[in-house]
Amino acid sequence: MQPTKTIWFDGKFVPWDDAKIHVLTHALHYGYSIFEGIRCNDTADGPAIFRLREHVDRLFDGAKVYRMNLPYTKEQLVSACMDLVKENGLQACYVRPIVFSSFGEMGVNPLKNKVIGAVACWEWGAYLGEEGMEKGIRCGVSSWARIDSRILPPQAKCSANYANSILAKTDALAAGYDEAILLTLDGHVAEGSGENIFRVRNGVVYTPTMQSGILGGVTRASVIQIARDNGIEVHERDFTKDELYTADELFFSGTAANITPIREVDGRMIGDGKYPVTKKIQKIYLDAIHGRIDKYKPWLSYVR
Ligand code: PPE
């Protein structure tokens, strides 16, 4: 990771190297932190952050679920993200806000400790590789079930959720795959370790329902809208593992991953290795985030 000039840390901009916390920070021990992942992309009118408000709203929703009292308003966090990109002078970057229980008392109860927020940004290329974006990646269905809303609410982007993602991701890598696909406890397809999933069959697009236990992806919502705006039928509908294998096309969506085709699942090739629907959606999505489509410009917050 290439350091940038500054990080927004508890309300102030500090040099990259000074954004440090104590080893007894409560969140480090118990996972009581909520974060976001946002992309700022280069456009003809300078850097623009994609759907910033939606990301900040999701962070506040997560905080509500976890009884986390945030010492900032949504407006303050929005400004922190915008100012951060400007201060660092980057054309394109990934923006990572996080709020967490800080140093103070140990023990499970986090509510005695001050909540601190930070926002950092850095340059981050294709999450699943440039080649993956082009040619598709290889996935394995994980033997770990996705967290369930009765265990850890998947819709809150709490750091603790990522222990589940880490188990699935590291097993997938150890088995020689690029990424894991997790099923729900009742055997429906949920999502990747850090992406939502889509299935294409006979030109129709399907994606698991929000109620199945997935993160409500900002990219997922954008994909659904882009597809519908462009005459592609989309259904939010749960599906099973075998329906992954019999898909004509599969793809992941996510802030970090953008739109990444999946070319293989559990050693089975998906479709015929061409992804006409995925590629069409991928192109429109990339055009949208880079400010090349007027209709989707309301999704952008221009930094300058
Ligand atoms: N599901 C999960 C579990 C998830 O972590 C992400 C984002 C998504 C779906 C897609 O959500 P959205 O980005 O709003 O479309 N994963 C973030 C973190 C990746 C990481 O390794 O860190 C991301 O893409 O920023």
Q: Domain containing 97 — which CATH number?
A: 3.30.470.10
157 is catalytic: yes
The domain boundary, picked from 76, 100, 122, lies at 122
Q: Tell whether 229 and 162 lie within a shared domain.
A: yes
Give, for all 304 residues of the chain, the pLDDT tens digit. 999 999 999 999 999 999 999 999 999 999 999 999 999 999 999 999 999 999 999 999 999 999 999 999 999 999 999 999 999 999 999 999 999 999 999 999 999 999 999 999 999 999 999 999 999 999 999 999 999 999 999 999 999 999 999 999 999 999 999 999 999 999 999 999 999 999 999 999 999 999 999 999 999 999 999 999 999 999 999 999 999 999 999 999 999 999 999 999 999 999 998 999 999 999 999 999 999 999 999 999 999 8
Please tell me the distance between residue 256's alpha carbon and the centre of ligand 1 in angstroms: 7
Please tell me the distance between residue 37's alpha carbon and the centre of ligand 1 in angstroms: 7
Residue nearest to atom 5 of ligand 1 (CA): 194
Return the ligand 1 atom nearest residue 94 CA: 25
Return the ligand 1 atom nearest residue 219 CA: 15
The domain boundary, picked from 104, 122, 140, lies at 122
- Structural domain that includes position 81: 6-122
Residue 298 included in any domain: no
* Tally of domains in the chain: 2
The domain boundary, picked from 61, 90, 122, lies at 122
Residue 60, pLDDT score: 98
Q: 129 and 73 in contact (C-beta within 8 Å)? A: no
The 10 Å Cβ neighbour count of residue 273 is 12
Residue nearest to atom 7 of ligand 1 (CA): 194
Residue 206, pLDDT score: 98
Q: Tell whether 174 and 231 lie within a shared domain.
A: yes
CB-defined site of ligand 1, < 6 Å: 37, 165, 191, 194-196, 215, 217-220, 253-257
Q: Tell whether 86 and 200 lie within a shared domain.
A: no
Q: Which two tokens stand for residue 136?
A: 């598709």
Residue 297 included in any domain: no
Q: Tell whether 156 and 242 lie within a shared domain.
A: yes
Residue 57, pLDDT score: 98
Q: 114 and 239 in contact (C-beta within 8 Å)? A: no
